[in-house]
Structure 1
Amino acid sequence: MTDTTGQVFESHDILKLLTLLPHRYPFLLVDRIVEAHADEYGVGIKNVTVNEPQFQGHFPGRPVMPGVLLIEAMAQTAGALCVASQPIGGPPSVVYLMTIDKAKFRKPVMPGDQVRFYMTRIAKKRNMWWFRGEAKVDGALVCEAEVSAMLVRE
């Protein structure tokens, strides 16, 4: 990551996220972005609760957050950073997930956990972005992956 001394970081609450992303319950998987520096870096938060629909079947008696939803939350965090960094005005943009690479799952995520998604841009070309993401619970790495996305104006 580049030196960020003197640079201003933003945060995005749930109301702002609803304007940046097309996702809605039960598929909006980011509750807040607590740090955002344009499309270069951001930290999203997911508060995992037992009454989310995936826990009825994954797994009864021992609820575990599905890994694919952790990856999706990373992609949503990165997508919100991309959309928020666009110039104001014009039609809203949609971000499509393009690739998932180097995904690794280290520890299970359980109800009651707060997951932080640390997303760092590794490349950008025209309307495509590549991010490296790490998901952590209480500072412990639970998941990591590289994702790429494409921003489309509709």
Structure 2
Amino acid sequence: MSSDPSQQAAERVINLDGIKRRLPHRYPFLLIDRVVDYSPGEWLRAVKNISANEPWAAGHFPDRAIMPGVLLVEAMAQACGLLAFVTDEARADTEMPSEAPLFYLVGVDDARFKQPVEPGDSPHMVASLERVVRGIWLFKARVELNDRLVASAGIRCTMRTM
């Protein structure tokens, strides 16, 4: 990695193509638009730009579109999966292998929702790796909007090769 701090920051961004190489999700279930920063084995910060054209916006709820809580949990889980990928890549000291593993969600603990997310918002998903125990990756995750907590949960996933 470069010793120039501005170059290091640029290397810690993952664009949509990089996300698609790591996650199997596609529209409408890909809920991360960009990783804005990360530290392998520690934390990752990603963003989702919410549009009025989201598939859920017309029906949840018609008079005031609010992003469903289950999709907030899924967005947190995808951020955790991306953190697991970059951590695994850093341990291997290589780019993503041609046959990438899948990270499966195996548990959600203590999910809490504090405020709604609506079209026009750009929430940040923040994932922190707590530990890996017998193949289960344990994370703390949260959704932030304008530096305020929107949602939080404990996320558990496991890695499987295809």
With normalisation by structure 1, the TM-score equals 0.90
Instruction: Write out aligned runs for 1:126-145 (5 A).
Output: 126-145=134-153
Q: What percent of counterpart residues are identical?
A: 35
Question: Which of residues 43, 48, 66 in structure 1 aligns to 2:50?
Answer: 48
Deviation at 1:84, TM superposition (A): 2.5
Specify the alignment match of 1:152 in structure 2.
160
Is the contact made by 1:127 and 1:152 (CA closer than 8 Å) also made in structure 2? no
Matched to 1:141, the amino acid is: L
- Compute the displacement of 1:90 (Å): 5.6
- Compute the RMSD of aligned alpha carbons: 1.5
Rounded to whole Å, the distance in 2 between the matches of 1:84 and 1:48 is 25
- Provide the secondary structure at the position in 1 that maps to 2:132: strand
Does the 8 Å contact 1:119/1:134 carry over to 2? yes
For the residue of structure 2 that corresponds to 1:77, the secondary structure is: helix
Q: 1:78 corresponds to which residue?
A: 80
Determine if contact 1:79/1:95 at 8 Å carries over to the other structure. yes
The yes-or-no answer on 1:94 pairing with 2:102 is: yes
2:126 paired residue among 102, 118, 122: 118
Structure 1 CA distance for aligned equivalents of residues 149 and 83 of structure 2: 22
Residue 126 of structure 1: how far off its partner (Å)? 4.6
Identify unmatched segments of 5+ residues in structure 2: none
Does residue 69 of structure 2 align to residue 67 of structure 1?
Answer: yes
Which residue identity is paired with 2:62?
P
> In structure 1, the residue corresponding to 2:124 is in which secondary structure?
strand
Structure 1 CA distance for aligned equivalents of residues 85 and 111 of structure 2: 24
1:90–1:127: structure 2 CA closer, same or farther, 3 Å change rule?
Answer: farther
Q: Match for residue 114 of structure 2?
A: 106
How big is the shift at 1:36? 1.3
Q: CA deviation at 1:104?
A: 0.4
Do 2:14 and 2:35's aligned partners in 1 also have CA atoms closer than 8 Å? yes
The farther-off stretch of 30-39 and 86-95 is 86-95
Query: Matched residues in 1 for 2:77 and 2:41: separation?
Result: 13
- SS state of the match for residue 63, structure 2? coil
On the 8 A contact 1:101/1:147 being kept in 2, the answer is yes
Q: Name the structure where strand makes up a greater proportion of residues.
A: 1
Of residues 34, 45, 69, the one that matches 2:36 is 34
